[in-house]
Structure 1
């Protein structure tokens, strides 16, 4: 298991904190307040997307926080309906403007599109990288077939694949592929949209470590080599609890118990999703 004192993943010139703040469904002033809180607690990895419609409040929070830009990792994403080269550039310009930044650290394809011209998509993303407007590029919700296309055929410098991953969902095929290519996995919905909190097995392990079931689930993820996680947490108490999850030391017996949990609990599966592995 990875030493949790090593709290950053480094690839293609970026250093991404293993624990970040997810912001899906955060809006307006509440979003700005949540990001301000997270930054004040020490979070340095903020994840957003054009589809979340919250880049403006996040930009305001970053501008007001006074954190040196070089210490901050900001990810945003282009929606699957905007994957034509011109549309990518328009979406990127709009995101950068709303975030009040001169560059982002990571720009992702949010979801694959069945009719995307992938060489054209990645050529456009790589140009944005060459221009210094994003420090790295990557993908989200790619299955292994799409990853092979991007990494092996197009040879795009993919810095991560962001997918749903938690103790209740098997992602071994994607993980094995990414690990073989030394590409990080960024886990969204790392707490299974709250379902881990009531799991009796995780609760039992938590009591042993004076921790919550959610902290156990998050620690299990972050203890894996090459895995980062971006739990959504709008309340300061939840943000701190997620930071404190890094302090737990799970043992082999704990991990054996976690391995017995059902692994078919996918939370996010829209109609435009690819065929999952």
Structure 2
């Protein structure tokens, strides 16, 4: 499995998302299928109500805890200092683990100042129950402010990112600051799969459109896609993306779907 190294922390580049599933049984089966398919990076959140299923699936998988990189996120109402501490301990109980690899602020649109939340998250890093911290859905300015305030490095900003939904300014900042960009909805809730450019490149490589869309993300430095599916066949297919490579021309064609690529960012991407 391809890895991303951020400030000395190694993260499996391809992750598995767990949002949008309706029942614990569906979540458990999906995560179990993902672990069986070779995923070793699992994304959950207090809001998704999938932490227990993730913990159960990991426990039943027989895979050593240290081999799976687990991310969870704070619910909006758990942003105040004490709520950060208490809710994270609850998350650990649900996940049946002594630590999480990554804890994120789920959304910037809350009443509690980011600084208060980050200070509490830093305390959890110091005590060892959280290995790394980050943010989600933060703007460029909010991400920069979090980097400047936090003693612990901001490992990632998790945002929607796909061929239709580009994040050029944010990606440029991440590359400059050594921050991973975690890409949720890497298939655009499926709307990337009907694009003629994507399907044409997929045909050329004898791959699916989904595999091409995921591969496009994986070939960008510091980008980690986290596709989600409860269909075991799709789960396995989305992981089968390491036996082919997109050319620079194909990468540029896929970027062009979302508009012109800034010359400065193109240079940082080697395109």
Q: State the TM-score, normalizing by the size of structure 1.
A: 0.89
C-alpha deviation, 1:185, in angstroms: 0.5
2:7–2:178 Cα contact (<8 Å) kept: no
Aligned to 1:253: 249
Distance 2:110 2:29 in 1: 37
The yes-or-no answer on 1:208 pairing with 2:207 is no
**Equivalent residue for 2:122, pick from 119, 126, 133:** 126
Aligned to 2:132: 136
Which stretch shows the higher mean deviation, 9-18 or 244-253?
A: 9-18
**Equivalent residue for 1:14, pick from 6, 9, 21:** 9
C-alpha deviation, 1:162, in angstroms: 0.5
Distance 1:86 1:24 in 2: 26
Aligned to 2:143: 147
Q: Which runs of 4+ in 1 moved over 3 A?
A: 153-156
C-alpha deviation, 1:262, in angstroms: 3.3
Distance 2:87 2:56 in 1: 19
CA RMSD of aligned residues (A): 1.6
Q: How many residues align?
A: 259
The superposition leaves residues 93-133 of structure 1 with CA deviations (integer Å, 9 ceiling, x where unpaired) of: 11111111111100000101343222221110011011110
The superposition leaves residues 24-83 of structure 1 with CA deviations (integer Å, 9 ceiling, x where unpaired) of: 012311110111111112111110000001111111111111111111100000022221
User: Structure 1: where are the runs of 5+ without partners?
Assistant: 265-277
Q: State the TM-score, normalizing by the size of structure 2.
A: 0.91
User: Structure 2: where are the runs of 5+ without partners?
Assistant: 261-271
**Equivalent residue for 2:238, pick from 217, 224, 242:** 242
**Equivalent residue for 2:189, pick from 186, 193, 201:** 193
